[in-house]
Structure 1
Amino acid sequence: KPTRTVRALLVFLLLPRDHTHRRDMIAGLLWSDLPNKQARNALSTTLWRLRQVLEPDGVPKGAYLLANGSDEIAFNCASDHWLDIAEFEQQTGRALAIPVPLLEQPDLQALERALDLYTGDLLPASYDDWALVEREQLRRLYLNSLAHLMRCREHRGEYGQALTAARRILDLDPLREEIHRAMMRLHAAQGQRARAVRQYDRCRLVLDQELGVSPMPETQALLAQIRRSPDRQPANDNPPAETPFAHALAELQRARQEFAQAQERLQRAIGLAERLASLPQSSLPARNLSEHGKIDRS
């Protein structure tokens, strides 16, 4: 079974999928806590172990890894392989480019298959800057695609499936207040007023515990609208009209939610830039490979 460092090296070579990498750069990023010589030795050992996995006896050397005596390492993108991340990015990107009213059932099914490829964070045990950046990008794409799916299902009146997508979003990002509102509307549309009210209570609790703030005015207005609706009578699927003042408050809260995340990403980017700046210019990526393919990481 591949070790954590072997898996990390493979992912690093695959992302991005069309570049070669200098050994010094890889060693400096993946073994930043070691002196240069020890980091290079660790890279050589890990590369040898990765080759044993990808190119065992009977598989030609260079079939998957291009590192034959040069100071550059790359994944052979011309090889016969399938990459789940490439499929995920391609299919979700295609679906996101289609407006909600124009998505048809085959499009939704393709989007759901793509979302099933995302089984968790990329390299969750790694805290290297490059891994954190890739992990965050994939997570955002996953959440945005789920939100698109939720809106499409709601537009089609498929409230149960829309609720399933909404729950998956909140499992990863419970502070998404617009998703809490969507779930309130969806429960109300099914005539489940009590569940809609409980969803508001969950939203209020998580915002208070994590941010020390109350729900947005439009969320409170939606709650009032739902409470006025009789049992078993669907509420209006559209959120109440947003006044300029309410909109300003909503934007302020969104900014507060995103500020801490932005600060963290900035610190990671600064650390990565400083680390790259300390490397010799000759260790930076040099050239591109041929058109990329895909790999099965099972």
Structure 2
Amino acid sequence: MGTGASVPNNIIRRDSYKGRCQREPWGRMRPSPIKKGGDFMADLKLFLFGFPRLERDGKAVEINRRKSMALAAYLAVTRKPQSREALATLCWPDLDQKLAQASLRTTLWYMNKIFGPEWLTIGRDHIELHQHKSDWIDVNRFQECLAQSADHRHPEDRFCQVCLISLSQAVEIYQDEFLAGFSLPDNDAFEEWKRSQAQRLNRNLIKALERLIHMHIDRQEYEQALAYAFQLVKADSLNESAHGYLMKLYAWLGQPTSALKQYEECSRILAKELDVKPQESMANLYLAIKEKRFPVLQNQNGQGSFLSEKNKSLMSLPRIPPISAERELLVA
């Protein structure tokens, strides 16, 4: 087979490895990771967006001890060795150090049975969850996709295909809030850590969604922008700019009724959660759409409509600012 020739799916490429291979998601075969001694390492995946779960070689692994999952999540996200004392204090804050250390030893014994020494190092003083692969922990992969975009030193309003791909992958990975539905009852320290991580990751998601919306609008890909705007409202329902994106996109796509309903939904949420009304810029946008002063860029047949010079000025409406500092205090 010559250089550059494609490899049929029924042919397994072993290259320099001797042993079994695994199929990549896109169809290509890759060798399994090999540990010392020539044995194959299990292919683990830890999912922390949503209710946490672990998979080994594509099959779910049952972890029926909450403290074990909590420790796995903490070690995975911190990405560095943690002292036994710190872990014992985090998970057993109400016990004295001797009893907490005993509970930690029992939990680590259980975790070692699940992860194995290839993935979990249990030292005399420190514990570490290894990063053999960059994609085995979804939260870390999410951060790496964002970092790939951040490494591009160019203005955020400039379109970049690499950034578009990286940000799209990051948003796809974010399936739900960090550790959604998982908790350690009566453990304020862990709950505070979980809450801070969830807020940090949610802020990163919001920034990625806003950039994707702007990228697709600049490319006149309004359907794609609309899909990301839906996700933005779900991620930050109190942010009026998120509702504003949906209103504009609905109007541009010739769906003014949906745009007006979105304003009503925004008003309902703000009244219920913060006891405030939408800002003036949102009200002006609502009136522009209601009075048919907002441009329609595509009718139901997919044909672009004529824009007068007066209507074109509405295309560049200033971005609706996020909720004010006073409202942020109300949210807190």
Does the pair score TM above 0.5? yes
State yes or no: 1:25 paired with 2:108: no
For residue 206 of structure 1, report the CA deviation from its aligned partner: 0.8
Shift of 1:75: 2.2
TM-score when scaled to structure 1? 0.74
In the TM superposition, residue 238 of structure 1 has moved relative to its aligned partner by 2.4
Of the three residues 181, 192, 195, the one matched with 1:129 is: 192
Structure 2 residue 312 is matched with structure 1 residue 257: no
SS state at 2:128 partner: strand
1:28, distance to aligned residue in structure 2 (A): 0.7
Question: Partners of 1:231 and 1:142 in 2: how far apart?
Answer: 29
SS of the residue corresponding to residue 102 of structure 1 reads coil
Structure with the greater alpha carbon radius of gyration: 2
**Matches of 2:94 and 2:125, distance apart in 1:** 21
Residues 256 and 185 of structure 1: CA distance in aligned 2, closer, same or farther (over 3 Å)? same
**Structure 1 gaps, min length 5:** 56-60, 243-249, 264-298
Letter in 2 for 1:154: I
Higher mean C-alpha deviation, range 185-194 or range 122-131: 122-131
TM-score by length of 2: 0.67
CA offset digits 1:70-95 (Å, max 9, x no partner) = 12222234x45633222211212333
**How far apart are residue 222 of structure 1 and its match?**
1.1
Highest relative contact order (Cα 8 Å, sep 6+), 1 or 2? Answer: 1
Q: Secondary structure at the match of 2:276?
A: coil
Aligned-pair identity in percent equals 27
Q: Distance in 1 between matches of 2:210 and 2:74?
A: 29
Work out which of the residue numbers 116, 121, 133 in structure 2 matches 1:66.
121
Cα pair 2:295 2:315 within 8 Å, conserved: no
User: 2:217 is matched with which residue?
Assistant: 154
State which of 83, 89, 93 in structure 1 corresponds to 2:147: 93
Cα distance change on mapping 1:75 and 1:232 into 2, 3 Å: closer
Q: Deviations over 1:29-73 (max 9, x none)?
A: 122233323322221111111111111xxxxx4x222223x1222
Partner Cα distance (1:209, 1:23) in 2: 45
Candidates 291, 299, 323, aligned match of 1:228: 291
Distance change (3 Å), C-alpha of 1:25 and 1:260: farther
1:242-253 pair list within 5 angstroms: 253=323
Question: More helix per residue: 1 or 2?
Answer: 1
Q: Distance in 2 between the 1:151 and 1:231 partners?
A: 18
- Look up the equivalent residue of 1:156 and give its one-letter code: R
Q: Kindly provide the CA deviation profile for residues 251-291 of structure 1, in whole angstroms up to 9, marking residues without a partner as x.
A: 7x521332255x5xxxxxxxxxxxxxxxxxxxxxxxxxxxx
Q: After TM superposition, give the deviation of residue 230 of structure 1 in Å.
A: 6.1
Identify the match of residue 226 of structure 2 among 163, 170, 174: 163
Matched residue SS, 2:315: coil
Cα contact 2:157–2:214 (8 A) shared by 1: no
Question: Residues 32 and 241 from structure 1, CA distance in 2 versus in 1: closer, same or farther, beyond 3 angstroms?
Answer: closer
Q: Is the 8 A contact 2:288 2:294 kept in 1?
A: no
Q: Does 1:102 align with 2:158?
A: yes
Q: Give the CA deviation at 1:102.
A: 2.9
Q: Give the 5 Å matches for 1:17-56.
A: 17=79, 19-55=80-116
1:239 aligns with 2:317: yes
Asked if the contact 2:247/2:262 (under 8 Å) is kept, the reply is yes
User: Does residue 174 of structure 2 align to residue 113 of structure 1?
Assistant: no
Deviation sequence 1:214-260 (CA, Å, 0-9, x none): 11011111112222226983463322599xxxxxxx67x52133225
Output the amino acid matched with 1:110: S
Sort the Cα spacing of 1:123 and 1:34 in 2 relative to 1 into closer, same or farther, 3 A.
Answer: farther
Residue 74 of structure 2 is aligned with which of 12, 15, 38?
A: 12
The 8 Å contact of residues 189 and 237 in structure 1, kept in 2 or not, is answered as: no
Distance 1:76 1:13, change over 3 A: same
Shift in alpha-carbon separation, 1:104–1:257, aligned structure 2, 3 A: same
Contact 2:274–2:330 at 8 Å: present in 1 too?
A: no
Alpha-carbon distance in structure 2 between the residues aligned to 1:85 and 1:233: 39
Q: 1:87 to 1:232 in 2, by over 3 A?
A: same
